[in-house]
Amino acid sequence: MPQQTLGVVTAVYHAVDPAQLRRALESLAEQTRPPDDVVVVEDGPIGPGLTAVLDDPPVPLSRVALPVNRGSGPARQAGLRALSTRWVAIADADDVSLPDRFEVQLAHLESSGDAGVGAAMAEFSGTEANVTATRRLPPEHDQIARRVLINNPINHPTFMADRQRVLEVGGYSDLPFLEDYDLMARLVASGARLHNLQQVLVLFRADDSMYNRRTGRELGRSEWRLQRNLHAYGLVGRSRMTVNYVLRSAFRMLPRWLLIRAYDVLLRERTAGQGTPG
């Protein structure tokens, strides 16, 4: 039997829409380069609707059940440890991987020597044909290493990486809402090379909950821990740590309409018209 090289981790919790989970799993089954292993982590009890999807999934998978809801960081870490593949891809439970995602990303990793790769993603609302914006991040490692000082340099729903390298830097931490940023910072600090493909490879579901997750006291506490981590990793000094915390916290305190506008200006390329990216 050939060595398994590509695994996928998906974490699901009780609030995920079963239809959205099924579509996310269908998109894994539609890949031109199918994954060798798919692990779905049940982050606490998930209820009958989601259980029904996982009992009859559109793609072969294995399941890891956590007895209580731990959050996406510990859930993804459990998925990482359940895999034995060389590479791991993250696939969120409500997003859609385009059919050539794994083929394109795996080809890049196997030819480049990079430890991880992200891609552009298209935001959609309602139906997949209703694409409203695109998020692209800087492609080259030097640009990524600069961006990590102030923001997450990888669109995490598009992330694929060397699984062992991710585990060597500690994998996903228990840092609510910011565990992905924290992981990218540790990878950069360790000397791992990262890259962002400019091709859209994931359809990202954008709804009101996306903004709700970016406010609240728990996120504020995680933000301070993250900035302290960036300092501990040797990426920022104490002054930059404090400035980052103040600026990023102030950004999240903007009124909803202004927060949306700021995301438009800073992170998105608005799509003229509608349609799924080719």
Q: Is the dihedral of CA 246, 249, 255, 259 positive or negative?
A: positive
Cα(142)–Cα(157) distance, rounded to whole angstroms? Answer: 21
Compute the average pLDDT of residues 210-224.
73
Q: How large is the greatest C-alpha to C-alpha distance in the chain, in angstroms?
A: 56
| pLDDT for the residue numbered 263 | 58
DSSP conformation letters of 53-109: HHHS-SS--EEEEESS---HHHHHHHHHHH---SEEEE--TT-EE-TTHHHHHHHHH
| pLDDT for the residue numbered 206 | 87
Q: Is the pLDDT reported for residue 195 higher than 70?
A: yes
The amino acid sitting at 7 is G
pLDDT band at 265 (very low <50, low <70, confident <90, very high): low
CB within 8 Å of 234: residues ≥ 6 apart = 189
pLDDT band at 224 (very low <50, low <70, confident <90, very high): very high
Question: What does the DSSP 8-state code read for residue 154?
Answer: S
CB within 8 Å of 165: residues ≥ 6 apart = 115, 116, 187, 190, 192
Q: Is the pLDDT reported for residue 117 higher than 90?
A: yes
Compute the average pLDDT of residues 188-216.
83
pLDDT digit string, tens, across residues 179-190: 999 999 999 999
Domain boundaries, the chain: 6-270
Q: Is the pLDDT reported for residue 208 higher than 90?
A: no
Q: Is the pLDDT reported for residue 262 higher than 90?
A: no
Q: Which 3 state secondary structure label does DSSP give 164?
A: helix
pLDDT digit string, tens, across residues 66-81: 999 999 999 999 999 9
Cα(165)–Cα(169) distance, rounded to whole angstroms? Answer: 7
Q: What is the percent of the chain where pLDDT is above 90? A: 81
Better pLDDT: 219 or 39: 39
CB within 8 Å of 57: residues ≥ 6 apart = 22, 25, 40
Q: What superfamily would CATH give domain 6-270? A: Spore Coat Polysaccharide Biosynthesis Protein SpsA; Chain A (3.90.550.10)
Better pLDDT: 211 or 196: 196
b/e for 135-165, b at 16 or more Cβ within 10 A?
bbbebebeebbebbeeebbbbbbbbbbbbee
Better pLDDT: 207 or 80: 80
Q: Strands (DSSP E) along the chain, which ranges?
A: 6-12, 37-43, 62-66, 87-90, 96-97, 116-124, 131-135, 160-162, 194-205, 269-270
